Amino acid sequence: MSERIDALLDAARRALRQARRLSPVDRRRGLRAIAEAIEGRADAILAANAEDVEASPDLSSALRDRLRLTPARIEGMARAVRNVAEQPDPLEEERDLGVGPSGIAVRKKRVPLGVVAVIYEARPNVTAECSALTLASGNAIILRGGKEACRSNEAIGEAVRAGLLQAELPPDLVTVLARSSREEVQALLGAVGRVDLVIPRGGDGLMSMVDQHARVPVIRHGQGICHVYVDAAADPQMAADIALNAKVHRPGVCNSIETLLIHEELLASTLARLGPALTNAGVEIRADPSAKAVLQQNGVSAQPATDADWDTEFLSLVLAIRTVANFEQAVEHIDRHGTNHTAAIVSGDEAAAERFLTEVDASCVLWNASTRFNDGGELGLGAEMGISTTRMHAYGPMSAREMTAEKIVVRGRGQVRA
């Protein structure tokens, strides 16, 4: 292991031990100090970000938009950190499990997971939000962002550490590893017993590296191949509204849909409304033959969908449309092609909707609502470390509470086992 990684993991572990004694009041004080430090260093963060933007002239406009910071976005970061301080402290949560047969009192109490490494790509605000959620949950964090954002992440990391120092908390709770080699990332992934959890957020390339090298526990925030299914009993106008929103509201993010599944009985009525709306929004459509024919009748052009389209996260204004003969075909398609992220049904039939909500395996399943609601803020859960697409430990948006585990706490009066 590289000396740098070795040293920073040691420092994080020491900070984690010191943090055990912090109270909820200490953690909230730290969060407010971080928010103030981000505001106080706004100019330095903006200057670093301008250098990042300048150093990557070839970024797509979508990626450039994700990378670029503005005074308003920095204000948003500080606000997100303050919002975390308003949430209930997860380490205060204790559950009573009652009294065991021997008379011992049994409770569960939340504890931090430990040293967490987050490996992510473009957006620098992730650096601030993950730092805040880490402090709020008593963990220590190593943040490894994308190289495009390295100067921005360093500047935000300096602000976070300054805030921690200001609040007399251990600064090594947060380490930004902005410029790091592939070998250093692999060292983190292999640090059994020293890194307690890795959260990779990104596309296939990052995930294969993690599959290949991770020896420590992983919670993936994987890609989102998300679906809307328009059931036979759907209101076609509601179906068109939800599908349009799920595709065009913010096409570059993970909870937007890539594929729309339409029951054959609703094909004509839904596409008569949706087809022109998609065209107006500049969406490129890739459709199966039945859907393509209906679109053409409505004066909407579409490319023929290929098999590869069902497995592609377009992250742009492209939508694949497939006709299904029945409910089962829709669920089977999502089973085969979905990435356990988000799936919605539009239907007026409660029984069909409840069956969909039960049978579809995704971190968030919705009935008569846009997939764009799979987001900590929209669900009322606050900021998030990521959206877990694995069923281990957390499934869906991970807030501070999901960054903890429950240990068993027993209080007795001298009981021994008979």
The residues in 213-232 that bind a copy of itself, with binding defined as CB under 8 A, are 214-215, 217-219
Considering only residues 263-302, where is the footprint of a copy of itself by CB under 8 A?
none
Answer whether 310's CB lies under 8 Å from 254's CB. Answer: no
β-pairing verdict for 387-388 and 396-397: antiparallel
Instruction: Give the count of residues interacting with a copy of itself (CB under 8 A).
Output: 76
Q: Mask: binding to a copy of itself, 237-256, rule CB under 8 A, as x and -?
A: -x--xx-xxx--x-------
Output the six-digit token pair for 355: 């069956």
What's the rounded Cα separation, in Å, for the pair 375 and 390?
16
Q: Is 365 in the site for a copy of itself (CB under 8 A)?
A: yes
Shortest distance (Å) from residue 262 CB to a copy of itself? 17
β-pairing verdict for 140-144 and 115-119: parallel
Closer CB to a copy of itself, 64 or 393, in the complex: 393
Interface segment toward a copy of itself; rule CB under 8 A; list 119-127, 149-157, 181-189, 358-366: 358-366
Shortest distance (Å) from residue 288 CB to a copy of itself? 24
What's the rounded Cα separation, in Å, for the pair 407 and 138?
14
Shortest distance (Å) from residue 275 CB to a copy of itself? 18
Considering only residues 319-348, where is the footprint of a copy of itself by CB under 8 A?
335
Closer CB to a copy of itself, 184 or 361, in the complex: 361
Q: Classify each residue of 338-352 as buried b or exposed e, where b means 16 or more C-beta atoms within 10 Å of its C-beta.
A: bbbbbbbbbbeeeeb
Shortest distance (Å) from residue 204 CB to a copy of itself? 13
Answer whether 362's CB lies under 8 Å from 341's CB. Answer: yes
Q: Is 196 in the site for a copy of itself (CB under 8 A)?
A: yes
Considering only residues 18-37, where is the footprint of a copy of itself by CB under 8 A?
20-21
What's the rounded Cα separation, in Å, for the pair 165 and 183?
30
Considering only residues 75-114, where is the footprint of a copy of itself by CB under 8 A?
97-102, 104, 106, 109, 111, 113-114
- Positive or negative, the CA dihedral 171, 34, 152, 256 is positive
Closer CB to a copy of itself, 35 or 246, in the complex: 246
Q: Is 370 in the site for a copy of itself (CB under 8 A)?
A: yes
133, amino acid identity: L
Ramachandran sector of residue 168 (left: φ over 0; alpha: ψ -120 to 50; beta: rest):
left
